[in-house]
Amino acid sequence: MDFLPLFHQVGDQSALIVGGGPVAARKAQLLLEAGASVTLLAPELAAASQILVDEARVLWINAVYEARHLQQMDLIVAATNDQQVNHQVAADARQLRLPVNVVNDPTAGTFIFPAVIDRSPVVAAVSSSGAAPVLTRLMRGRIESLLPASMGLLAQLVGQYRKQVQETLSGSTARRRFWERVLNGVIADRAMTGQKEAAGRLLEEELQHFRQGDHGRGEVYLVGAGPGDPDLLTFKALRLMQQADVVLHDRLVSPEILALVRRDAELIYVGKRRSEHAVPQEGINELLIRHARAGKRVCRLKGGDPFIFGRGGEEIEQLAAAGIEFQVVPGITAASGCAAYSGIPLTHRDYSQSVRFVTAHLKNNTSDLKWDELVTAGQTLVFYMGLVALPEIARQLCAHGCSPDMPVALIEQGTTPQHRVFTATLSTICDLVDQHDVQAPTLIIVGEVVKLHHKLNWFKPAVEG
């Protein structure tokens, strides 16, 4: 290990940056964020440094470097474009036993600036010891994506109650289990969404449960898994999936997404096909409540978005009636994901000024949809679960005034590696289904915007009809 990572408190220190270019400005910004008093020493300033001076955030000494400038300083940065000057600054600082950083030359100084992930008061730092700064920035980006932007709010909550927890729970094991429960559940999410009072109230209730020896309060996460591509999961969805003890999942949740669930979680398949339900809806509701009451964190993982034809509202109604804590994580609905991956904008200034989502489930091979409202100029129609009903959809739309030549797209297994797109018209689309053996899950898009598919498609070549 070439450098020992340390976190220094510089809020009461004076920092001198020798140099006035863009790099000097970036170093000044970091030091200012940590509370240091910053002085720039340079005969001239670049625009970024000049802004800091104009805003009175830093002092500027308009001069060429001399060793005397190090007097009364606590920390030094050599950031000129002249390596000879930089090395002289480093040598002078070392002689005075001052910490010094030399930009682009980690061995010349006594410390380096890492890539910083700031979720104050939580701060993470990444370094390659100066060997690979681009790699360090990429690593920082990866870590940034894993840490919620509001992580600092959660850390503040923990700091506020830390002493109370120490006084209430005896033994490090009990305290560790308590904090794991807080940091991996609904309390943490309340804190990170700015609901400070609600988070504090729940934390105090949980603390009393632990004090009484009851560690069994569970909760449910209703999570939208998106249309299939794992990269379309939200950060929050992934985080909750990886902390759940039990996962109830639909058939539309792809194997690639299930692979991201915590490895030791219990997986329960509750998928539904037409006229074939692995578990009836009432049974799903019962499973959610039973596992939560057993003290488990339960993830209800649903394809697409749970509130768009996903019966998510019915499920959380039952949870609320049972007094179970829950939270909802929206997902990218099939209409948005499948259309975007097929180069079909759902709205477009020249073709469509509105979009309508429709469930196409038929009862007794008939439909009570308000077809007159669906046949409207400048509107895109998106039918979910409509493959079996496609002949009826085409017939009814044409019967209510839609042109038989209206473009139609069928998107099969959208956003997955098996993604296929078939385009035709209302009068020819059913024949195309028979020719290509199109299977569910398939999304149907009806409207002039389908014409743009051939121009804008980027994900996979289309199968033409």
Spatial CB neighbours of 252, under 8 Å, sequence gap ≥ 6: 225, 228, 271, 302, 303, 304, 441
Distance between CA 282 and CA 314 in Å, rounded?
10
What are the angstrom distances between the C-alpha of 418 and each of 229, 269, 289, 383?
11, 22, 35, 20
**Active-site residue, 272 included:** yes
Residue reference for tokens 């830093």: 58
What gap in Å lies between CA 407 and CA 203, rounded to an integer? Answer: 55
- State the Rg of the chain over Cα: 30
| DSSP for residue 103 | T
The alpha carbon torsion through 23, 28, 30, 36 (nearest 10 deg) reads: 160
Q: Which of 118, 196, 236, 272 is catalytic?
A: 272
* Chain centre to alpha carbon of residue 150: 12
To the question of whether residue 414 is assigned a binding role by annotation, the answer is: yes
Q: Is 334 within any annotated ligand binding site? A: yes
Q: Is 143 annotated as a binding residue?
A: no
Q: Is 250 a catalytic residue?
A: yes
Token reading at 82: 């002249």
Judge whether 246 and 268 are in contact, CB under 8 Å. Answer: yes
C-alpha span between 330 and 335 (Å, rounded): 14
Query: Which two structure tokens, joined as six digits, stand for 301?
Result: 């993982």
Contacts of 122 (CB under 8 A, 6+ apart): 147, 151, 152, 155
* 304 in a known ligand binding site: yes
Q: Is 303 annotated as a binding residue?
A: yes
Q: Of the residues 92, 189, 250, 302, which is catalytic? A: 250
310 assigned ligand-binding residue: no
Quote the CA–CA distance of 212 and 259 in Å, as a whole number. 37
Cis amide prior to 106 (ω within 30 degrees): no
C-alpha span between 419 and 72 (Å, rounded): 66
* Annotated binding-site residue? 23: yes
Q: Which residues are part of the catalytic machinery?
A: 250, 272
**Which residues fall in the annotated binding site for S-adenosyl-L-methionine?**
227, 303-305, 308, 333-334, 385, 414
**Which residues fall in the annotated binding site for NAD(+)?**
22-23, 43-44
